[in-house]
Amino acid sequence: MKKLLSSTATGSIEAILKQQVQDNVAASNPDFSLSSGGTTPYTGNAAAAADEALKQILTANEQKKARVAEERGHIDEERSRHSRRMMELEDKLRQSLDKLQERENNIYASEHKLESQLEKGEKEMKNLDHRAAEGRFLHKRIHKSIIEGEEGKLKSKYHGRIHPHRHEFAE
């Protein structure tokens, strides 16, 4: 160590001592060797292994990111397809509802028309019933006057010739 001290300046002695401490710690603790920036033979292999592990982790992360991006693409595509399908179904539903509304309007108009025709028919039936009643009344009156008139004429014309029926009380 004397040789080493005599050949170097005091500033570089501290650097050498620090490096030796780091090398000793790195040799005894592999986790520390990953975090230290030393390039001694002990840390060289550890740094190479750490670099390789880091590269593998980065590669795995990149692959995961690619898979996630691909899955997001599939999800977005599926969501888009689902949205289009929902819009198509909404359009069909809206068209069906419009047709049903049109049918309902037609039914309402037909119902209104039938009700007005029914009211008109009922009024006409009342008028016909009234006229029929008048006709029956007139018919009875005419019939009665004709029969009574004819009977009166016949009685006066044939008064002496008509013999009373022996069962006249039966009438």
Asked if residue 78 is part of any domain, the answer here is yes
Q: Residue 5: what pLDDT?
A: 46
pLDDT in tens, 23-67: 776 666 655 545 545 455 555 566 677 778 778 888 989 999 999
- Name the pLDDT band for 166 (thresholds 50, 70, 90): low
Q: pTM of the full predicted structure?
A: 0.39
Q: How many domains does the chain have?
A: 1
Tell me how far apart the alpha carbons of residues 132 and 168 are, in angstroms, rounded to a whole number.
Answer: 36
The single residue listed with the structure tokens 């029969």 is 147
Please, are residues 26 and 32 in contact by the beta-carbon 8 Å criterion? yes
Q: Domain range for residue 77? A: 11-156
Name residues whose C-beta falls within 8 Å of residue 46's C-beta, 6 or more positions apart in sequence: 26, 30, 33, 34
* 119 domain residue, yes or no: yes
Asked if the structure places residue 104 within a domain, the reply is: yes
Assigned domain for 55 exists: yes
The answer as to whether 4 is a domain residue is no
Q: List, for residues 60-107, the tens digit of each pLDDT value.
A: 899 999 999 999 999 999 999 999 999 999 999 999 999 999 999 999
Q: Tell me the pLDDT of the chain averaged across its residues.
A: 79
Q: Is residue 65 part of a domain?
A: yes
